[in-house]
Amino acid sequence: MGLIVQKYGGTSVGTIERILRVADRIISYKEEGHDVVVVVSAMGKSTDVLVDMAKQISAYPSEREMDMLLTTGEQVSIALLSMALHTKGYDAISLTGWQAGITTEAIHGRARIKQIDPERIQSELGRGRVVIVAGFQGISDEGEITTLGRGGSDTSAVTLAASLNALKCEIFTDVSGVYTADPRVVPAASKLDTISYDEMLELANLGAGVLHPRSVEAAKKYKVRLVVRSSFTAEDGTYVEEVANMETGRVVSGVAHDEDVAKITVVGMPAKVGTLSRLFNTLADNQVNVDIIIQSSYDATVTNISFTVAADDLKKALDTLDRNKTELGFEKVDFEEGLTKVSIVGSGMIHNPGVAAEMFRVLAEKEISIKMVSTSDIKVSCVIPATLTELAVRSLHSAYGLDVEETAVVHGV
């Protein structure tokens, strides 16, 4: 017996009935003799509701005030779950991120955790309490409330597990584990028993929403035993570990897709040393994350640079480029929305030539145009029209032998 950290997502605590069900699951762990720390997200779509209210007041609300607003969602969840445990005869206490000792960078909306002081949590555990922590949030050294970005509760849970030396960190969600594709898009997707940190990190970065990428980075760095499970069934989940068991005959472990993609092309940049540095440092200084990058030169003095950003960051990126047009020295900016990045991932790709060629063949056969390509040792990504997302994902899933006869079940939707 020992300490277990659990994280419950928004669908898992989306109603009072589900909160009571989560309380029962926590109690089952307590009755087995475990200490339990629980990280909770905001209920259901409550974060979206808060965002919508803010946008009704201002098209560009203050990032600081948005953090003040959005952190209230998790505070509702933790208080209600703590109350549920009280009514069932178990001692529990709810803590905000800052009460739990989570210190972050002084960045609003996308802060990273700098350190965790576990003293308060350890003290409460010593009193026999279940500790319920608000995910997604912390406090900066300057005393400002911060958020970790969407999905940041996963990161809260993993880093807490690392700082508390927990036996494992269980991420409870609306699916039974990590699947070979999003079962909402591919009903023939199969659940993986194990997956490596590296494969999971690629899938998370490429749009597989079951885990936040930063949580996988933290799990790999601190060797946290990570399990993805359903909060609606008792089914075994997927273990994320250093080296996963090899899936017989599988070169590709999964197909991921990200529909939150926009393409920007900066036309007529000076073709000289330092151009790329100036362009992407300018974007980075304005908190714009860039993904796929392609440079194309059509004469000795001028170059075009294309790159992808999250669709939500498109306006910020365009505004940043417009403000810095004279300094950067480009002619104009073109952009394209309505795109998806579809990717294949698998550690077996390293030693198997022709995997990328097969991807291109499948997409061409379905008459799906490829606008950009990015590769690494264990993944290939293509940017395609968003209208063809389901066709692309299902076709690739079948082509790499990932289909199963059973239909995947998604709970809580």
> Which residues are part of a known binding site for ATP?
7-10, 173-174, 179, 184
Q: How many helices (H) and strands (E) does the chain have?
A: 12, 18
Annotate 131-178 with three-state secondary structure: EEEECCEEEECCCCEEECCCCHHHHHHHHHHHHCCCCEEEEEECCCCC
Q: Is 106 helix (H, G, I), strand (E, B) or coil?
A: coil
136 phi/psi in degrees, rounded to 5: 80, 0
**Signed CA dihedral, 391, 212, 14, 105: sign only:** negative
Tell me the C-alpha distance between 119 and 33, whole Å: 21
**Which residue reads 């607003």 in tokens?**
69
Binding site members: 7-10, 47, 74, 173-174, 179, 184
Binding site members for substrate: 47, 74
336 phi/psi in degrees, rounded to 5: -140, 130
Is beta strand 379-385 parallel, antiparallel or unpaired with respect to 372-376?
Answer: antiparallel
Tell me the C-alpha distance between 165 and 48, whole Å: 33
**Which residue reads 């898009």 in tokens?**
185
What one-character DSSP code corresponds to residue 179?
B
Tell me the C-alpha distance between 333 and 316, whole Å: 13
Residue 269, by phi and psi: left (phi above 0), alpha (psi -120 to 50) or beta? beta
**Signed CA dihedral, 183, 188, 194, 198: sign only:** negative
CA 61 to chain centre: 24
Residue 337: Cβ-neighbour burial (10 angstroms; 0-12, 13-18, 19+): exposed
Tokens standing for 285? 């200084």
Tell me the C-alpha distance between 344 and 334, whole Å: 28
Residue 287, by phi and psi: left (phi above 0), alpha (psi -120 to 50) or beta? left
